[in-house]
């Protein structure tokens, strides 16, 4: 029994067990009680909550802020009272969590009657705390990637909106699709008003499939062969064209007045054949040179190494 009385953690666990037992008994009674009685808290639960509250203030006086907050939270879970919120406000302030402290001051004062003597000093305390709370506004740099998001200590941040945070170290996480996440440390002093521009993000490098150089060389070789055939056909076109021009003069001599000699008839026949060959060589030459050029130009080559594109850029003692 002496150990229980001396060990604060044992007392807290024992009180919490009493709260759970009292709540269970209260729920059972309320289920069979009239409506007006069921709306009232069970006497056992209220007493257990009050005991936890008093233990919390005892811990607060010892500056055991963690223990005090734990006891006040257990008491508040059993029964909400203004004094419990005010106790939590003081222990949270002792833990340098002044954002949470201010929230409990507001809740506690809102539950007090209008003539309560704790209202005036509590309001003064709220004003003092509000001036100590740092505020940070996060903005994105120009040209930030679409869907860029920023989180402060794991919580999403509204861009361009002042955010109240506790003083101390914080971490900004900036993210965007297809970009590398960026973490930035941020230190805020009490009362600071800061604007922070998120750093630019680097685009994720897209891996390039390696190209077999032999494949490109083979295609280029084939292209040059086709190109050579086209040039050869073009040369044949030029040669046959020259022969046709020469034959035209001979035909004029061998066929005066459209009356041809035997030699003239032979020249006319050969020239007609050459005309067909000449037209075919022109088509083959143009097609071969054009196709060869396309095959050569489209042959795959090993990609040149280029740096990845960077987009620089997601913080009352009464119960």
Per-residue pLDDT of the chain (319 residues; tens, 9 = 90+): 333 333 445 445 554 554 454 445 445 444 444 444 344 556 788 999 999 999 999 999 999 999 999 999 999 999 999 999 999 999 999 999 999 999 999 999 999 999 999 999 999 999 999 999 999 999 999 999 989 999 999 999 999 999 999 999 999 999 999 999 999 999 999 999 999 999 899 998 877 666 666 666 777 778 778 778 878 878 887 888 787 887 777 777 778 777 778 776 787 787 788 788 878 878 887 887 788 688 777 877 655 544 444 333 343 566 7
The structure tokens listed for 296 are 């050569």
Which CATH number goes with the domain that contains 55? 1.25.40.10
pLDDT at residue 166 in the model: 95
Domain assignment present for 53: yes
Nearest to 152 by CA among 189, 191, 190, 196: 196
Expressed as residue numbers, the domain containing 106 is 2-131
Domain co-membership, 55 together with 126: yes
Domain co-membership, 249 together with 273: yes
Domain co-membership, 127 together with 7: yes
pLDDT in tens, 151-175: 999 999 999 999 999 999 999 999 9
pLDDT at residue 256 in the model: 75
Domain assignment present for 116: yes
Q: Which of 72, 98, 131 is at the close of a domain?
A: 131
pLDDT at residue 164 in the model: 94
Residue 164, beta-bridge partner list: 135
Residue found by looking up tokens 């008994």 in the block:
25
Phi-psi region of 169 (alpha: psi -120 to 50; beta: other; left: phi over 0): beta
Alpha-carbon distance of 133 to 130, in angstroms, equals 5
pLDDT at residue 238 in the model: 85
Residue 56, beta-bridge partner list: none
Q: Which of 86, 111, 131 is at the close of a domain?
A: 131
Confirm if 172 and 315 have CB atoms less than 8 A apart. Answer: yes
Domain co-membership, 164 together with 232: no
pLDDT at residue 16 in the model: 52
pLDDT at residue 80 in the model: 94
Domain assignment present for 309: no
Which CATH number goes with the domain that contains 173? 2.60.40.1120
């Amino acid at each position: 029994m002496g150990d229980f009385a001396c060990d604060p953690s044992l007392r807290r666990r024992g009180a919490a067990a009493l709260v759970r037992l009292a709540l269970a008994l209260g729920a059972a009674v309320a289920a069979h009680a009239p409506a007006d009685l069921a709306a009232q808290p069970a006497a056992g639960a209220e007493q257990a909550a009050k005991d936890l509250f008093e233990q919390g203030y005892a811990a607060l006086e010892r500056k055991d802020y963690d223990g005090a907050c734990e006891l006040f939270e257990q008491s508040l879970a059993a029964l909400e009272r203004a004094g419990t919120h005010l106790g939590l406000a003081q222990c949270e302030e002792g833990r340098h969590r002044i954002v949470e402290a201010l929230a409990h001051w507001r809740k506690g004062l809102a539950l007090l009657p209008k003539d309560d003597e704790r209202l005036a000093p509590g309001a003064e305390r709220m004003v003092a705390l509000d001036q100590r709370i740092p505020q940070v506004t996060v903005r994105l740099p120009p040209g930030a990637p679409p869907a860029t998001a920023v989180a402060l200590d794991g919580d999403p941040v509204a861009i361009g909106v002042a955010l109240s945070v506790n003083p101390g170290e914080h971490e900004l996480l900036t993210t965007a699709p297809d970009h590398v996440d960026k973490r930035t440390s941020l230190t805020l002093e009490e009362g600071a008003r800061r604007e922070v521009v998120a750093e630019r993000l680097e685009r994720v490098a897209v891996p390039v499939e390696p190209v077999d150089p032999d494949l490109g060389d083979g295609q280029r070789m084939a292209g040059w062969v086709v190109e050579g055939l086209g040039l050869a056909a073009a040369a044949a076109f030029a040669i046959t064209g020259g022969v046709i021009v020469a034959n035209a003069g001979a035909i004029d001599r061998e066929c005066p007045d459209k009356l041809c000699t035997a030699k003239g008839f032979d020249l006319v026949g050969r020239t007609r054949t050459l005309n067909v060959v000449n037209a075919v060589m022109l088509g083959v030459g143009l097609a071969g040179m054009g196709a060869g050029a396309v095959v050569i130009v489209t042959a795959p080559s090993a990609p040149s190494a280029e740096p990845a594109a960077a987009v620089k850029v997601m913080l009352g003692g009464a119960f």
